[in-house]
Amino acid sequence: MRSAVAWAKRIAAGLASIVILYLMVGLIGGAIPVNRGWREPANGVTIWVESNGIHTGIVVPKLAAGVDWRTLAKPGDLRDPRYAGYDHLSFGWGERAFYLETPTWWDVRPATVLAAAIGSARTLVHVDHVPAPVETASVRRLVVTPDQYRRLAAYIAASVKPDGSIEPGYFGYDTFYEGTGRYSAARTCNSWTGAALAAAGVRVGAWTPFPVTVLWWF
């Protein structure tokens, strides 16, 4: 009995150490910049980076710099097609079960987090039809050049599986599209956001696994 208790304590201590190490490495990775020379242009395409405390996303105009998202995000994909009248889209990428089962912190379950952290090839791109956001503590505005925006759009588009499945969203204005890529503790929904911005040439952390490691750059 004592031996079993001792082993349980060792396992718990080991797991706690792994979590602490992951948090430390994530914060360090998020503090190391890529695209150090990037400067926000005076004119260009306005985008937003947003967070709900768990997932981060990127809000973009439906029409800008030659990019037309209406061919991807169609009114018929929504529970309520009237929301397609909004002129912006919010994009986020993540693991299927984690996305569908954890819309808020109250819905987070250890088993779901563990399964996602181990790794999954079942990913989704979450798309919300929204008006232009208002900047707040959890919604940050920035401007990119047209070329940077096109690179950002290419990264986002490549994350959606061509002719993939479509899942209903949480509400009438959002939809989940089957994604590409593999989710893991090393590549989270938030590191996807950082990687998308980095691909566009924006200054952001080298590895951004947490919402805070994305938002503190803007």
Domain assignment present for 12? no
pLDDT of residue 1: 58
CB contact burial 2-25 (16+ within 10 A = b; e otherwise): eeeeeeeeeeeeeeeeeeeeeeee
Domain assignment present for 10? no
Mean pLDDT of 55-74: 96
Domain that holds residue 137: 32-215
Domain assignment present for 153? yes
Supply the DSSP string of 79-104, one letter for each residue. SSGGGGGSSEEEEEEEEHHHHHH-SS
Dump pLDDT digits (tens) for 166-215.
999 999 999 999 999 999 988 999 999 999 999 999 999 999 999 999 99
Domain assignment present for 118? yes
Domain assignment present for 60? yes
Cα 25 to Cα 50: distance, rounded to the nearest angstrom: 23
Give long-range contacts, CB 8 A cutoff, 24+ apart: 25-28. Answer: 26/207, 26/208, 26/209, 26/210, 26/213, 27/210, 27/213
Domain assignment present for 185? yes
| Token reading at 182 | 């593999």
Domain assignment present for 98? yes
Q: State the total domains in the chain.
A: 1
Domain assignment present for 81? yes
